[in-house]
Structure 1
Amino acid sequence: MRWTDTQEIAISLDEAHPDADVQHLRFTDLHRWIVELTDFEDDPEASNERILEAIQMAWLSERD
C-alpha cells in the first residue's frame, strides 16, 4: 500500500484497530498506525496533513 491507497488503508486500519475513536484520533497516532501496517510500503515521510485527513475520512466512511 502507498499513501494514495486511502480506501485500502482505511479498511486495514479498521481491521487492525476496531475499537479506535477515529473521529478524535491524533494525526501522529494515525500516521504511526499506517506505517506499522504489514502491507504499507511507501515512504513514511511522504505524508502530509491532507493525506492523513483523507485517510481518516475514508476510515469514518468505512465504519458507516
Structure 2
Amino acid sequence: MSKPKKKVFSVTKAVKQNARDRVGTPPPEQVLPDDKQKAAARTTKHKTTLADLLTKSDRD
C-alpha cells in the first residue's frame, strides 16, 4: 500500500478559510433573468389562426 500524498500548504485556501470562520459563508448567488429570455417568454408561442381571428371579431 502506498503512502498518502502530503498536503501542500496553500495561502489562498488558508485566507479563505480564515474569512469563512470570521464572517461566515457567502450567500448563494442569485441569477438575474436575461431581458431577451423575458421578452421571449412573454410573446405568444403560436400565431393566431384565421378562425381564431374571426371568432374573436364575432364576439366584439
Is the TM value for this pair above 0.5? no
Q: Over alpha carbons, which structure has the higher Rg?
A: 2
Report the TM-score, using the length of structure 2 for normalisation: 0.25
Relative contact order higher in (CA < 8 Å, ≥ 6 apart): 1
Report the TM-score, using the length of structure 1 for normalisation: 0.24
Kindly indicate which of the two structures has a greater share of residues assigned to helix. Answer: 1
